[in-house]
Structure formats: structure tokens, C-alpha cells
């Protein structure tokens, strides 16, 4: 009934999808699984008309169609429910339900008719229409999601796609959602269900497609595969990075010891120990709570429970500044948003946190500052080695090196690197890996957060896997396989 054929989508520097086929049938749920970055979200955006494929075609009842904007996809009966719910927070539930297809004439709204229809639609989903004047932002996430599902009903959608719909729901809410999805399926809708919780996908999906690195590597009946086979399909890949072995053994004495660390509801009861000279990876899927752990260690957020000791002394950083003072430096995931001031020169970015070191009475001794910045950037092999360039003009990989140069100057003893090679060309990744290993070999403890398994395997001395806010296992580097990590990251 509805099919995507040979879909290729390229973004500058990345091919997000390469020749993907996806065929949907009415009355069936089609599960879409894959690691972060496998191309699931891009595929949904193309389905929804929010992005356009560079190659390939979309067939509706056998006829090629084009969706230059979301409007055309909606008119063709396709509704995509994104993980980041697309509701207008200030508007009421009924206003959101009918957004873009309001009842009424001559531009006037028939609010009574819309409320009646909204009440009926939401009742079909087991939800009572909130009282007038209650904005949707005051509803629980599960209810907001049902409002979005109600939108699909209002639009008589023939294709309904749900992107990670269960990520923030309780088990009871998941059961309710699944009942609604099955009812929609039985009423003849074609459903796309995207999730990285394998147990859930297998519970709801009739058919499955596995995406890996932008390709559909397997399509078939959900009943024909087991978890182990699915995980093999998800992680088997062509990319592999050279292993960066430690040049010398890690210290015997622990440097940072974390016990029972919690920050509800993001993560709970996390234990971890870092030694000087080693790289420990925090593996898992996006949303497992890894960044939240890092933010607590770095003094950005306050934990709700747990004890931390650094060098045998209590460690409870009240601010990132306090953490840096104790030698704990966090290099955040989104370097453009949290890391670098792109309008500043490389030198200015590198020395920003420690400028006081070369200042007297607030005046910077520029010669010393320049020498320090030049030394730090040379050690991370910044290219070109021009510290007076505007940081914006550097490639992603070189911007990441600037962040590392900053960490060098900050005299970090514990370095937390969050997705250090995201958005960086493959060739540069290995070089960044070498730099990270160098930082550890110089005696720092490195906590690496990465969603890319080959990167974890190339760098880590130990691997701690998290899933849904809990540590599900610890693996030694020797003998760790992508399958083993992925099993801990996705399986129940």
C-alpha cells in the first residue's frame, strides 16, 4: 500500500540513508530497529515530508508521490509521532488535536464541535478530555502522547509512525499505549514502530526492518528472529577502528570512586571507579543516563544520592568551577552549544578557563598566553597549527582538538569526554582516539561516553554498560564484543 523505494539521503559529510526499502501494509505493525545513528529518524523524517530524499521514490497505492513539506504527507494520510512530542505546549488538548485541520468555516473556529469531536476521539484512546483552559504542557507525557495519537485518528491517518514512543513511559502506560496501537492496527492502519527496546518491538511488531549505518540490512517477520540474531544484525559492521592500547599500566590506587550515585529520574545507583592512566567507557544508548552521570561528576547537576571520593577525600562539587578546581574536567557532547565560543580565536578558546594563570591585575601577558596555547594545540596536533584563527572556521574534528587542548591546559586529572568524535570524519576519528589515549597515558583518568561501539572497543580498558538509568554490566576490554555490549544495552 505504501512503500519507500531505494531511498538515499545525504547530509554534508554523511550519508544518512543508502538505498533503503521499506514496504508497509494496512493492518500490520512494522518495527524499525537499529543503533543510534543507524538512520531511523532520518527515514521517519522523509516519510513525514520533513526532509526530502536525494534519491529514490515514495509509492502510495502503487503511484509515485512527493512530499515537499509535511503538509503534503499529512494530506496523503501519513502521521509521524516524534519522540520530542510536537504539541504546542500553551494550547489545549482539543486545539492541539485539530491543529492544521480545524473545524469551522470562513476561518472561524467551531470550538464546540471541536471539543465534542476531541472528547470522542480521546475516549477511543481511553483518555478524558481535560477541562477547558488546561494547556497540554500540564498533562503527563503519556497523556500528551495519546493526544498525538488522537491527532492521527482525527486525520484518518492510513500510516502512523511512532518514534521511540515508550522511552519515557511507565510499564502501565506502555501497556495502555500498546493496546491503542493494536486497536489502530486492527482498524486497518499501517503502523511503523521505532524503538531500541527489543523486547517491546518484538511484542508489538508483525514485521521488522533492521537498519545499520544507513542501510536496511534485514527485513522479515518478527517471529522469524530472536534477540541474539537481531543484535548481531544491528551491530555487525564494516567500520572498525585501530585499537589504541595503553602505553603503561594504570595506577593501582583508585582516583575517583563513585558509590550509589543517583539523580532521579535520570539514573539510579551507579557505581564506578576510575584509576589514573586508564580509559573507562560508559556505553549504552542515547537516553540511558550516561551524560546525566557525567554532569553530576562535573558539578553541573547535583545528585540526589550517592557518595564520591577523589584521591580518598570527599568530592561534592557545587559547580563546574569547583570540579575544575579539583581537577575534574568535562568535555560536553555538544561542543557548539556547551563547549566552544565559536566566534573567538582558537587561542582564546584554549585559554579561556585558565586565563587567570597569565594575568596580573586583570591584564593578560599575551606572550605567555600565546606560548601556552601554541604548546597545547601542538600536542593535540591541531591542523592548521594556527592559534589566531576564528574557531568557527575549523572542521568538527579540529574543533574537538581545541576542546582537548583546553583540557590539557586545565591540568585535568579526571577527564570526562562525551561523544568526542560525533560528527567528525572517519579518518579524523582514529587521530582523536590517539589523542585521548595520550591524555590517559600521561596519567589522567579518562571517562569516555560514546554511543559508537567500535570507538568504545578501540579505546576502553574497561566498559560499563548502562540501560535506562542503571548499570547493567561491566566488561573487561579483552573479550568484549559488540554483541555483548549491545545485549547489555538493549535487552531486558
Q: Which residues bind another protein (CB under 8 A)?
A: 48, 50, 69-71, 74-75, 80, 82, 85-91, 95, 99-102, 104, 107-109, 111, 137-138, 151
Of 209, 213, 236, nearest to 38 (Cα)? 213
Strands 190-194 and 159-163: parallel
The nearer residue to another protein, 151 or 413, going by C-beta atoms, is 151
At its nearest, how many Å lie between another protein and the CB of residue 87? Answer: 6
At its nearest, how many Å lie between another protein and the CB of residue 107? Answer: 5
The nearer residue to another protein, 45 or 462, going by C-beta atoms, is 45
The CA-based dihedral angle spanning residues 471, 244, 451, 250, taken in that order and rounded to the nearest 10 degrees: 30
Could you tell me where the beta strands, DSSP code E, fall in 359-437?
359-360, 363-364, 414-418
The nearer residue to another protein, 108 or 252, going by C-beta atoms, is 108
Q: DSSP letter string over 69-99? A: SHHHHHHTTEEEE-SS----TTSBHHHHHTT
At its nearest, how many Å lie between another protein and the CB of residue 156? Answer: 14
262 - beta bridge partners?
Answer: 305
How far apart CA 420 and CA 442 sit, in angstroms, is 19
How far apart CA 460 and CA 277 sit, in angstroms, is 11
Collapse the DSSP code of 41 into the 3-class scheme (helix H, G, I; strand E, B; otherwise coil) and give the result.
helix
Collapse the DSSP code of 422 into the 3-class scheme (helix H, G, I; strand E, B; otherwise coil) and give the result.
coil
Of 442, 434, 452, 483, nearest to 290 (Cα)? 452
The nearer residue to another protein, 95 or 160, going by C-beta atoms, is 95
At its nearest, how many Å lie between another protein and the CB of residue 165? Answer: 16
The CA R_g of the chain, rounded to the nearest whole Å, is 25
At its nearest, how many Å lie between another protein and the CB of residue 119? Answer: 18
Set of cell numbers at residue 256: 575517583
The nearer residue to another protein, 144 or 421, going by C-beta atoms, is 144
How far apart CA 340 and CA 319 sit, in angstroms, is 18
The nearer residue to another protein, 88 or 378, going by C-beta atoms, is 88
The nearer residue to another protein, 33 or 136, going by C-beta atoms, is 136
At its nearest, how many Å lie between another protein and the CB of residue 229? Answer: 35
How far apart CA 492 and CA 485 sit, in angstroms, is 13
The nearer residue to another protein, 51 or 415, going by C-beta atoms, is 51
Phi, psi of 198 (to 5 degrees): -60, -40
At its nearest, how many Å lie between another protein and the CB of residue 89? Answer: 6
Of 230, 294, 307, nearest to 266 (Cα)? 294
At its nearest, how many Å lie between another protein and the CB of residue 98? Answer: 8
> Does residue 384 have a cis peptide bond before it, meaning omega lies within 30 degrees of 0?
yes
At its nearest, how many Å lie between another protein and the CB of residue 61? Answer: 21
Q: Are 124 and 41 in contact (CB under 8 A)?
A: no
| CB burial string 349-388: b at 16+ within 10 A, e below | bbbebbeeebeeeeebeeeebbebbbebbebbbbeeeebe
Q: How many C-alpha atoms does 13 have within 13 Å on its Cβ side?
A: 10
At its nearest, how many Å lie between another protein and the CB of residue 50? Answer: 6
The nearer residue to another protein, 88 or 426, going by C-beta atoms, is 88
The nearer residue to another protein, 104 or 343, going by C-beta atoms, is 104
- Distance, CA of 325 to chain centre: 30
How far apart CA 157 and CA 213 sit, in angstroms, is 30
At its nearest, how many Å lie between another protein and the CB of residue 20? Answer: 21
The nearer residue to another protein, 18 or 91, going by C-beta atoms, is 91
Residue 176: count other Cβ atoms within 10 Å of its Cβ: 18
Amino acid at each position: 500500500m505504501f512503500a519507500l523505494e531505494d531511498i538515499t539521503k545525504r547530509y554534508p559529510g554523511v550519508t544518512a540513508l543508502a538505498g533503503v526499502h521499506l514496504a508497509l501494509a494496512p493492518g500490520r505493525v512494522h518495527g524499525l530497529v537499529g543503533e543510534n545513528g543507524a538512520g531511523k529518524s532520518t527515514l521517519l523524517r522523509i516519510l513525514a515530508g520533513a526532509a526530502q530524499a536525494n534519491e529514490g521514490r515514495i509509492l502510495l497505492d502503487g503511484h509515485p508521490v512527493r512530499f515537499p513539506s509535511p503538509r503534503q504527507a499529512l494530506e496523503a494520510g501519513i502521521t509521524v509521532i516524534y519522540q520530542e512530542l510536537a504539541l504546542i505546549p500553551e494550547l489545549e488538548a482539543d486545539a492541539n488535536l485539530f491543529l492544521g485541520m480545524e473545524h469551522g468555516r470562513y476561518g472561524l473556529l467551531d470550538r464546540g464541535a471541536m471539543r465534542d469531536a476531541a472528547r470522542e476521539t480521546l475516549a477511543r484512546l481511553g483518555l478524558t478530555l481535560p477541562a477547558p483552559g488546561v494547556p497540554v504542557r500540564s498533562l503527563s507525557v503519556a497523556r500528551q502522547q495519546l493526544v498525538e495519537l488522537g491527532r492521527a485518528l482525527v486525520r484518518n491517518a492510513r500510516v502512523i509512525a511512532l518514534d521511540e514512543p515508550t522511552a519515557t513511559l511507565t510499564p502501565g502506560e506502555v501497556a495502555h499505549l500498546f493496546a491503542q496501537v493494536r486497536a489502530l492496527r486492527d482498524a486497518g492502519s499501517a503502523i511503523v514502530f521505532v524503538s531500541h527496546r527489543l523486547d517491546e518491538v518484538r511484542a508489538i511488531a508483525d514485521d521488522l526492518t533492521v537498519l545499520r549505518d544507513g542501510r536496511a540490512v534485514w527485513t522479515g517477520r518478527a517471529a522469524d528472529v530472536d534477540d541474539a540474531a537481531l543484535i548481531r544484525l544491528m551491530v555487525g559492521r564494516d567500520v572498525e577502528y585501530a585499537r589504541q592500547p595503553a602505553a603503561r599500566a594504570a595506577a593501582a590506587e583508585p582516583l575517583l570512586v563513585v558509590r550509589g550515585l543517583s539523580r532521579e529520574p535520570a539514573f539510579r545507583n551507579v557505581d564506578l571507579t576510575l584509576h589514573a592512566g586508564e580509559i573507562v567507557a560508559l556505553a549504552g544508548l542515547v537516553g540511558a543516563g550516561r551524560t546525566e552521570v557525567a554532569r553530576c561528576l562535573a558539578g553541573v547537576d547535583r545528585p540526589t544520592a550517592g557518595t564520591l571520593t577523589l584521591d580518598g577525600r570527599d568530592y561534592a562539587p557545587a559547580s563546574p568551577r569547583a570540579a575544575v578546581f579539583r581537577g575534574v574536567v568535562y568535555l560536553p557532547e555538544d561542543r557548539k552549544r556547551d563547549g566552544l565560543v565559536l566566534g573567538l580565536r582558537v587561542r582564546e578558546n584554549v585559554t579561556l578557563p585558565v586565563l587567570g594563570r597569565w594575568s596580573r591585575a586583570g591584564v593578560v601577558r599575551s606572550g605567555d598566553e600565546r606560548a601556552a596555547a601554541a604548546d597545547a594545540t601542538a600536542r593535540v596536533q591541531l591542523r592548521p597549527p594556527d592559534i589566531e584563527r576564528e574557531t568557527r572556521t575549523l572542521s568538527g574534528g579540529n574543533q574537538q582538538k581545541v576542546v582537548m587542548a583546553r583540557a590539557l591546559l586545565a591540568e585535568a586529572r579526571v577527564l570526562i569526554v562525551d561523544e568526542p568524535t560525533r560528527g567528525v570524519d572517519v579518518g579524523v576519528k582514529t587521530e582523536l582516539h590517539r589523542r585521548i589515549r595520550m591524555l590517559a597515558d600521561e596519567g589522567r583518568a579518562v571517562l569516555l561516553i560514546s554511543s559508537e561501539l567500535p570507538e568504545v572497543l578501540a579505546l576502553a580498558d574497561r566498559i560499563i554498560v548502562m540501560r535506562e538509568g542503571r548499570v547493567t554490566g561491566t566488561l573487561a576490554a579483552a573479550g568484549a564484543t559488540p554483541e555483548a555490549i549491545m545485549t547489555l544495552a538493549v535487552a531486558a
